[in-house]
Amino acid sequence: MSSPPQQYCRLTELLGEIVDLNNLAAIAYWDRQTYMPSGGASARKQQLTTLSSLTHKKMTDPTIGELLEQLTDYEDSLPYDSHEAATIRVARRDYRQAKRIPPELVAQRSEASAEGLQAWLQAREEADFSVFLPALRRNYDVTRRIAQALKPDWDPLDTLIDRREPGFTASEVGDIFSQLKEELLPLIDAVSQQAVDDSVLHQHYPEQLQWENTLDAVSSIGFDLEQRGRQDRSVHPFTTSFSPDDVRITTRVRENDFSAAFFASLHEAGHGTYEQGLTDELCRSILGQGASGGMHESQSRLWENLVGRSRQFWHFFYPRLQKRFSSQTDGVSVEDFYRAVNRVQPSLIRVEADEVTYNLHIIIRFELENAVYSGELSPADLEAAWNDKYSDYLGITPSDPVQGILQDIHWSGGFGASFVSYTLGNVISVQLFEAAQREYPDLLQQFERGDFCSLLKWMQTNVHAHGRKFKPKELIRRATGQDLSTVPYLNYIRSKISDVYDL
Residues annotated catalytic, as ranges? 268
CA distance 425 to 296: 7
Helix (H, G, I), strand (E, B) or coil at 248: strand
Helix (H, G, I), strand (E, B) or coil at 240: strand
User: Residue with CB nearest Zn ion?
Assistant: 300
Task: Please report how close the Cβ of residue 462 comes to Zn ion at its closest, in angstroms.
Answer: 20
Closer CB to Zn ion, 12 or 300, in the complex: 300
Alpha-carbon distances of 27 from 34, 47, 165, 239, rounded to whole Å: 11, 11, 25, 11
- Burial letters 25-58, b for 16+ CB under 10 A, else e: bbeebbebbeeeeeeeeeeeeeebeebbeebbeb
Amino acid present at 94: D
CA distance 81 to 98: 24
Closer CB to Zn ion, 300 or 412, in the complex: 300
Give the Cβ contact number of residue 216 at 10 Å: 15
CA distance 281 to 232: 28
Task: Please report how close the Cβ of residue 271 comes to Zn ion at its closest, in angstroms.
Answer: 6
Alpha-carbon distances of 280 from 13, 136, 285, 465, rounded to whole Å: 16, 42, 9, 9
Contact criterion met (CB below 8 Å) for 276 and 457 = no
Closer CB to Zn ion, 294 or 404, in the complex: 294
Closer CB to Zn ion, 243 or 300, in the complex: 300
Q: Which residues contact 435 (CB under 8 A, 6 or more apart)?
A: 458, 462, 479, 480, 481, 482
Task: Please report how close the Cβ of residue 365 comes to Zn ion at its closest, in angstroms.
Answer: 15
Contact criterion met (CB below 8 Å) for 170 and 161 = yes
Can you give the length of the chain in residues?
A: 503
Task: Please report how close the Cβ of residue 278 comes to Zn ion at its closest, in angstroms.
Answer: 17
CA distance 422 to 296: 9
DSSP conformation letters of 100-128: HS-HHHHHHHHHHHHHHHHHHHHHHHHT-
Task: Please report how close the Cβ of residue 371 comes to Zn ion at its closest, in angstroms.
Answer: 26
Task: Please report how close the Cβ of residue 421 comes to Zn ion at its closest, in angstroms.
Answer: 8
Helix (H, G, I), strand (E, B) or coil at 218: helix
Give the Cβ contact number of residue 61 at 10 Å: 16
Task: Please report how close the Cβ of residue 237 comes to Zn ion at its closest, in angstroms.
Answer: 8
Name the site residues for Zn ion (rule: CB under 5 A): 300
Triad 410, 414, 418: Cα angle to 5°: 50
